Amino acid sequence: MASGEGLTSNEYMQHHLQNLVYGKLPVGYERADGHIVEQAQWTFAHSPKEAVDMGFWAYNVDTLGWSIFLGLIFSFVFYRVAKNASTDVPSGFTNFIEMCVEFVNSNVKEIFHAKNEVIAPLSLTIFCWVVLMNTMDLVPVDVLPLAAQWITGDPHLYFKVVPTTDPNITFGMSIGVFILIIYYSIKIKGIGGFLGELTLHPFSSNNLFVKIMFMPFNFLLEGVSLVAKPISLALRLFGNLYAGELIFLLIAMLGYWQLPLHFVWAVFHILIVLLQAFVFMMLTIVYLSMAHEHH
């Protein structure tokens, strides 16, 4: 599919970058096909403008569907392997799963020195789940959208298949990590210790008056540093995968010439798929390790 039947190159790009959005349209809203909404209704957006006008309480159905589906695959596979595990020497797929577990566990042991039984399972879940979501970028860009259009009978259906190219997913995960950072910082250090980290560093003094004077500046610097953690965590993953998807779409518009270029970029993109999952996992471990440290 070079540029999509009846679509210009720009329209083809915009169509593939638009999520399948489900939300509520107000009374009197004029839809993309000219139809006027007679009463407020929940429906699927037929254009990017409709998706925006649905406001905050709109849902990217394709993103949610694929992320949940891939999460269930991860859970099912690891559950089956754990259930069938034995004391014998592992082989085949079981050996591969144990290698993944050992890989994550070794990184946790090297970085995280406190005692917390949540960190290793959390890190394993993040790594495997992000790898699965990133791997969807290696599927030819038109295969699943065309299949969805054929199943629904809607030739203009929006359908994105890479959850990590949606900032809602990457920010959702990073905000979850951020909540854990705040929770463990307060749990380990107490509210006073946590506030002390935000207000008494990096500038301090033995003079009480000077120390109080430094507090607003310290709070500004440390607050920005704290808030930057989830933002950078989310945007790094989103930016790299979104850029990769754009390149796949550009290659897809070359028609039959796309095949060799698609293969070359896909081979290189495997490194991005794994590296970004690894970086997200490692930063999560580092941030949670810092939250457990007594200054």
| Domain definitions of the chain by residue range | 62-292
| Active site positions, annotated | 232, 236, 240
Chain centroid to CA 206: 44
In order, the DSSP letters of 157-202 are ------GGGSHHHHHHHHHHHHHHHHHHHHHHHHHHHHHHHHHSSS
The Cα 143–Cα 158 span in angstroms is 13
Residue 137 has what pLDDT?
Answer: 92
pTM of structure: 0.89
Phi, psi of 25 (to 5 degrees): -105, 140
Residue of 83, 10, 56 lying closest to 250 (CA atoms)? 10
The Cα 276–Cα 287 span in angstroms is 16
Residue 42 has what pLDDT?
Answer: 93
Residue 141 has what pLDDT?
Answer: 86
- Contact between 287 and 114 under an 8 Å Cβ cutoff? The reply is no
Q: What is the DSSP letter of 145?
A: H
At 231, the amino acid letter reads I
Dihedral (Cα; 154, 161, 60, 227), 10-degree rounding: -160
pLDDT in tens, 100-144: 999 999 999 999 988 999 999 999 999 999 999 999 999 888 899
At 13, the amino acid letter reads M
Residue position matching structure tokens 């929770």: 183
Residue 1 has what pLDDT?
Answer: 39
Residue 92 has what pLDDT?
Answer: 77
The tens-digit pLDDT sequence of the chain (295 residues) is 334 456 788 888 888 899 999 999 998 898 888 889 888 889 999 888 999 999 889 999 999 999 999 999 999 999 999 888 776 766 778 888 999 999 999 999 999 988 999 999 999 999 999 999 999 999 888 899 999 999 988 888 999 999 999 999 999 999 999 999 999 999 999 999 899 888 888 888 788 888 888 899 989 999 999 999 999 999 999 999 999 999 998 888 876 777 788 888 888 889 999 999 999 999 999 999 999 987 6
